[in-house]
Chain A
């Protein structure tokens, strides 16, 4: 029996909820953009049929308990600005992989970090995972910065692992253990006592941090208040 993971998550600026077939049109403007898809392991959507077939494929993987797909929308206007995923779910090994994509207009505002922070917290909590992984094209520096900011450690560089739309590419493998995450949460609570979160965000807009740096204020709260329930 596949695991159940269908949370509705609310963050300061965003909503995250399970993907539906009806999201295809909104996602078309995002996943139909070559720039968004450049480093992702799926072809750019050219037609609505592409999009619907892809979502259908995601649903089939969900049936098997392998993949859970979500859309990210803005609370202010309800518009969908991206998607995120938990995939390669290996419950016996308490591990899964994360992925995400944001519309180009919404890059550079900390949305990926905000969404994935809440998403990761929920995945660890609901599924009892011990480890999360992310695989990133080394040229995708924005995405590397996001996962490094979340506390993922670079654990491997796999040479010439992909040959997709953008030629032969290496892969960076990142790993995050629940114990790392919990330690960061604790450090965050301590940090919050001295530095207001908003101030911390402005002062440290986008730098990667290591576990050793956890005494410093981090990019955004690793343990946000999450109000809604699964």
Chain B
């Protein structure tokens, strides 16, 4: 029986809920922006067909039970301003990986930290995870800062691990253990 993890979470300023097909047009605005996808492992979405294809892949992964995809919205709005997910769930080793993306209009306000802190809190408790991982482009300073604030430790630098958008890129690996988790003050 696959694990189920589809919480709806409210934070001071945000709401996190499982993705649905009706989010795709707002998500096209987020993932269609080259500055958002610059350091992410996929190319910018060009159109709704890209959005639908992504949604199909995500649903297939959710079906397998090792991926849980969410969107974040402002608390009093319904439009997605970003995405966050838990994926590569390895139940026996009590581990999973996290990822997130935020629309450019919403950068610099602490939203990623606020959303991910809440999601991580729930993941550790609801899924009894022991370890979370994140893999980022080492040039992605904003993302590294968010991970650092949440207590993730940089554990590795993998050379030339990806070939994306015509570039060969390194990858920085981060890990966070449950006993180390101390939820940061939300926002800011």
B61 at interface, CB cutoff 8 A:
no
By size class, the interface of chain A is 20 to 34
Chain B residues in 8 Å Cβ range of A153: 159
Closest to B133 in A: A158
B64 at interface, CB cutoff 8 A:
no
Task: Name the interface residues of A138-156: CB closer than 8 Å to any CB of B.
Answer: 153, 155-156
A38 at interface, CB cutoff 8 A:
no
Decide: A156 and B133 in contact? CB cutoff 8 A: no
Cβ distance A184 to chain B, nearest Cβ, rounded Å: 16
Task: Name the interface residues of A109-164: CB closer than 8 Å to any CB of B.
Answer: 130-131, 133, 153, 155-164
A161 to B164, CA, bound (A): 27
Chain A CB within 10 Å, residue with most, of B133, B160, B177: B160
A93 at interface, CB cutoff 8 A:
yes
Decide: B175 and A159 in contact? CB cutoff 8 A: yes
Decide: B163 and A158 in contact? CB cutoff 8 A: no
Cβ distance A166 to chain B, nearest Cβ, rounded Å: 12
Task: Name the interface residues of B111-128: CB closer than 8 Å to any CB of A.
Answer: none
Chain B residues in 8 Å Cβ range of A133: 158
B12 at interface, CB cutoff 8 A:
no
Chain A residues in 8 Å Cβ range of B153: 159
A94 at interface, CB cutoff 8 A:
yes
A36 at interface, CB cutoff 8 A:
no
A173 at interface, CB cutoff 8 A:
yes
A212 at interface, CB cutoff 8 A:
no
Decide: B157 and A130 in contact? CB cutoff 8 A: no
List residues of chain A with CB under 8 Å of any chain B CB: 92-95, 130-131, 133, 153, 155-164, 168, 173, 175, 177
Q: Pull 22 A–B residue pairs with CB atoms less than 8 Å apart, ordered by A.
A: A93-B161, A130-B160, A130-B168, A131-B159, A133-B158, A153-B159, A155-B156, A155-B157, A155-B158, A155-B159, A156-B155, A156-B156, A156-B173, A157-B155, A158-B133, A158-B155, A161-B131, A161-B175, A173-B158, A173-B173, A175-B158, A177-B160
* Besides A159-B155, A173-B158, 15 new A-B residue pairs in contact (Cβ under 8 A), listed by A number: A131-B161, A155-B156, A155-B159, A156-B173, A157-B155, A158-B133, A158-B173, A160-B130, A160-B131, A160-B177, A161-B95, A161-B133, A175-B159, A175-B160, A175-B161
